[in-house]
A and B are shown apart, each in its own frame.
Chain A
Amino acid sequence: MAHMPQLSARFRTASRVCGAVVSGVGALVFLAWALHDERLNRALAGHFIMQLNTGLAFLVAGAALWLRPRALATACGAAVMLGGAWMVLEHVRAGTVLPGRMEPDTASGFVLIGAAIVLRHAQHRAAARAAEAMTIACLLIAMVGLFGFTYNVKFFFGVAQYVRMTLGTALAFVALGLGTLFAEPERGVMATVVSDSAGGVMARRLYPAAIAIPILLGQLTLAGETLRLYNGKFGLSLFLLTSIVVFVLLVSLTYRSLDRTDAERMRLAAVLLEEAERRHIAKELHDEVGQSLTALKLRLQVADASEQVMQARSLVDELLTRVSNLSLDLRPAMLDDLGLLPALVWLFERYTAQTSVKVEFAHAGLDGRMSPVVETAAFRIVQEALTNVARHAGVPSVRVRVWRDGASLSVQVADGGKGFDVAAAVAAARSTGLSGMRERAAALGGSMDIESDKDGTRLTAELPLPAAPAAAKMGARA
């Protein structure tokens, strides 16, 4: 499973931004306290005043996300964890929720997030897992606080009496939790989000939806209730119904896009498998069958020249030619042995002999070998395009251009034929050739483009050449 490096980088930046915002909130609380500014404090904390020690903890915890030196960040995390633990202990020792202290849920949140920050760089798998679990637990605590506020729940009895978090605190915890997750985008649950696999596509689509949609629908349901359009129980069923509809739709949409990706990958795998098989059989025919026939021929050569032997000789010659042609048809050996240019020249010679369509060939920059996968793709694309020209264009000649500029190899096959409707052909069943070519190009990170009108058809494919080998690159960096 490969990661999308740009996306990872964006998450790392987002992590530092989250850290900075959280630290900023903490600093504001300090400022409000120092200036004795009640209004500022209320603005920060919603209905409840944010405790001074809460602000301090946010300042330090946020710093753990934007500070670059690891040791410093870990120290910040440890401080937050210990501070939170001390507060929790005070409540526990008193046996009740002490007024005027850091709320028990807030304190637990700091314990969790502080421990997660300390553990997040751990190489040990279990430790990294634990860090992630604690971060998510902290996010859940924050969301309970957030929902309590947005749905105006009164927490006075039962378990709910421990939920005391203010809006500002809850929001800061959400930022802190997300920032901690984003800091290591290639591990744990985040790895699925930055993955370039089909699973990654699904994760990027469904995670945000799974979180945002219930919140949004909940708010809408609540708004309807407030407007007295219906009562609470009806609101709940409405919420359930809309959730079901939205998620079913989302799953079906995701299914379609995953299904398409999957089908593309399967077709490509089939193309590559076929190529490997062709290479194998072509080599087997040429090397094994061909050599045995050659040996047989040499034996017959030294036998007496009776009529039977003469007939056998000519049969062997015919077989040798057939085996050799069969091998070339499957996959021309020169593509592997000598490179793209000789293989193309061979192809054009044979094509003209078979179809009477002349090939005007021009090329530039083809000396030396290129990556075998690029050479194969270029060869097959030209071959397929030529087959289409012979079949449909009705022209006496076709132009093929192949050129290499620094980073890519391009091929172009142009005819002055009657042209065709590209979109219709791609949609129709006979397009397997076209989509096969396109997938070959796409698999290499390249592209294929067809222009067709009454004056002819022009197919252009561009195939990026892999950069210099990794070893050379590493050497250059060292």
Chain B
Amino acid sequence: MKTQILLADDHQVIIDGLKALLSGEPDMEVIGQATDGLQVVPRVLELKPDVLVLDLMMPGLGGLEVARQMKERAPSTKVIVLSMHANDAYVVEALRNGASGYVLKQAEARALVDAIRAVRAGGRYLSPPLSEEKLERWEHDAKAAPFDPYDTLSTREREVLQLAAEGLTSAAIGERLAIGKRTVETHRANLQRKLGVKTQADLVRFAVKKGLVSVD
């Protein structure tokens, strides 16, 4: 039995090109097309294709959102995203939204045929130069790395923090640093916001933990 395919792309020239490409494959059959994001899911529900080849950038409803809806409403249809975006962020996002394959438009045209066979067989397909390792590296690079809020303080704010933790008033700090009391208060408000401390006690606790002042 032939693999039934639905093509979704807002450019008719691409759909025609894809049709021409796939017509050479005896085990594949294009059963329909959609050129607007909003048409895609209804067409899928109506035609029940095995594979949906989906452009990421579609008018009406973006490809990512279409993929997400497909996961919920037509889980038996495999989704292959066909995109010009070679950036891993798009790939990660597409896979996260339920796509089984990601094929670059700049890749060898054969890649799409390979992808259709692979996802039909239940696998996942990424067209070169995309790879699972690259995706993992991307996820690693983009992972939130917690950092010390102290590092974000300016030199002046660090000076004010130190003196404030030692118990000096804003006026006294201003005198020591030869700046105005109002300026000290601004620095103080800023550094408290950056460190997420509300009270003088919190501030002292932070400074002790950082080893800026000692407890005695």
B214 within 8 A of A: no
A324 interface neighbour in B56, B84, B109, B147, Cβ under 8 Å: B84
| A346-B89 CB under 8 A given contacts A320-B105, A449-B154 | yes
A residues less than 8 Å from B20 (CB atoms): 298-299, 302
A residues less than 8 Å from B193 (CB atoms): 405
Once the chains bind, are B17 and A299 in contact (CB under 8 Å)?
yes
Give the interface SS of chain A, mostly helix, strand, loop or mixed: helix
Residues of B26-76 whose CB lies within 8 A of A: 56-57, 62, 64
Once the chains bind, are B146 and A362 in contact (CB under 8 Å)?
yes
A338 interface neighbour in B23, B89, B110, B151, Cβ under 8 Å: B89
CA distance A320 to B147 in the complex (A): 39
Once the chains bind, are A295 and B13 in contact (CB under 8 Å)?
yes
Once the chains bind, are A334 and B87 in contact (CB under 8 Å)?
yes
A residues less than 8 Å from B23 (CB atoms): 302
Contacts A317-B106, A324-B86 known; list 18 others, CB within 8 Å: A291-B13, A291-B14, A292-B13, A294-B11, A294-B17, A299-B17, A299-B20, A301-B17, A301-B110, A320-B84, A320-B106, A346-B87, A363-B147, A401-B151, A403-B152, A405-B193, A410-B152, A460-B152
B residues less than 8 Å from A295 (CB atoms): 11, 13-14, 16-17
Question: Which residue in chain B gives the minimum CB-CB distance to A455?
Answer: B155
Question: Which residue in chain B gives the minimum CB-CB distance to A411?
Answer: B152
B196 interface neighbour in A332, A338, A405, Cβ under 8 Å: A405
A interface residues, tally (CB under 8 Å):
46
Question: Which residue in chain B gives the minimum CB-CB distance to A316?
Answer: B106
B18 within 8 A of A: yes
Question: Which residue in chain A gives the minimum CB-CB distance to B154?
Answer: A451
Once the chains bind, are B24 and A298 in contact (CB under 8 Å)?
no
When A and B form their complex, what is the total count of cross-chain residue pairs whose Cβ atoms lie within 8 Å?
Answer: 114
CA distance A363 to B143 in the complex (A): 8
B interface residues, tally (CB under 8 Å):
40
A residues less than 8 Å from B93 (CB atoms): 338, 342
Interface string of B4-25 (1 = CB under 8 A from A): 0000000101101110110110
CA distance A25 to B142 in the complex (A): 71
| A364-B146 CB under 8 A given contacts A338-B89, A460-B154 | yes
B residues less than 8 Å from A458 (CB atoms): 154
Q: List 25 A-B contacts (CB under 8 A).
A: A291-B14, A291-B84, A294-B105, A297-B17, A298-B20, A299-B17, A301-B109, A302-B20, A317-B106, A321-B106, A324-B84, A332-B87, A337-B56, A337-B57, A337-B85, A342-B142, A345-B142, A362-B145, A362-B146, A362-B147, A363-B147, A364-B146, A458-B154, A460-B152, A460-B154
